Structure 1
Amino acid sequence: YAMDNKIDTIVIGHNNGWKQSVNMGEKNNQNFVQIPFNMLINQIYYKGQEHNIKVIIQDESYTSKCSFLDDETIEEHETYLGKRIKRGIFRSSNGTLIHADLQASYNMIRKAIPEAFADGIEGIGLYPRSLSIPEFIGMITSKGGC
């Protein structure tokens, strides 16, 4: 996918110990905690190197709380410019709504590559796509890799 779309950098959000003390209900805990994310990240990194694609592992701290649309610095604040108003929806300081995960993803890119959005986001070829874990694993392990 990355090669077909001329993607030269992949940013992966990661937090050490993020699956510790997970409490999503017994069945969800069993399904989620067993997913070997470090193995998946290592495979993406390996495939990236193989195809000259830079892979950046980025700490996710404060990316969900700080407002991308307000260009808020990504750090701890006493009060934040935007707010997650319900599951999946984030509201910026001027009331603009954005999907919360997309908002956090843009902030992760901003943390990893500070100049990525220096000229704004208009015309940027970012097309986030939701994939199931099996679909994603199939994509990176298929012929051609990344």
Structure 2
Amino acid sequence: AICVSTLKQLCERYGITYLEQEESYTSQASCLDLDDIPVYQPDAPYTGTFSGKRIRRGLYRFANGRTANADINGAANILRKSKQNFDFEGLCKGLLDSPLRIRLS
């Protein structure tokens, strides 16, 4: 609570808008497949499925078989969930157009 209070004060001091964002299911949903991202409800947990999945720590596999950093997927979903005025299609295009890195050793 002290950290949040301090952050709010710093944002106010420097003219930054402070917003709190609910983040449930953002690391499980696929940002490229535009999965619906439900809000967590303790009395009625989400029982649906997502199109992709985390295959190991730090790596997320999308429905088309491509992989990306899991933190990037989660961050993109937080942006989607925030419903701010953000060009999400541009972000997805950048993810899709990025070349794959192949190690030849």
TM-score (structure 2 length as normaliser): 0.69
Structure 2 distance, partners of 1:122, 1:80, is 17
Match of 1:120 among 59, 74, 90: 90
- Size of the aligned set, in residue pairs, is 87
Matched, 1:86 2:86: no
Where do 4+ consecutive residues of structure 1 move more than 4 Å? Answer: none
Matched, 1:56 2:19: yes
- Sequence identity, in percent? 31
Contact between 1:65 and 1:84, CA under 8 Å: does it hold in 2?
Answer: yes
The amino acid that maps onto 1:86 is R
Shift of 1:123: 9.0
Shift of 1:55: 1.8
Question: Residue 18 of structure 2: SS of its match in structure 1?
Answer: strand
Structure 2 distance, partners of 1:115, 1:70, is 20
Structure 1 distance, partners of 2:5, 2:65, is 39
Shift of 1:89: 0.6
Structure 1 counterpart of 2:80: 110
Structure 2 distance, partners of 1:49, 1:123, is 34
Q: 1:119 to 1:64 in 2, by over 3 A?
A: closer
Alignment root-mean-square deviation, CA: 2.3
Shift of 1:77: 5.4
- Larger strand proportion, structure 1 or 2? 1
Deviations 1:65-103 (A, max 9, x none): 111111111124522111000011111111221211221
Question: Residue 95 of structure 1: SS of its match in structure 2?
Answer: coil
Shift of 1:122: 6.7
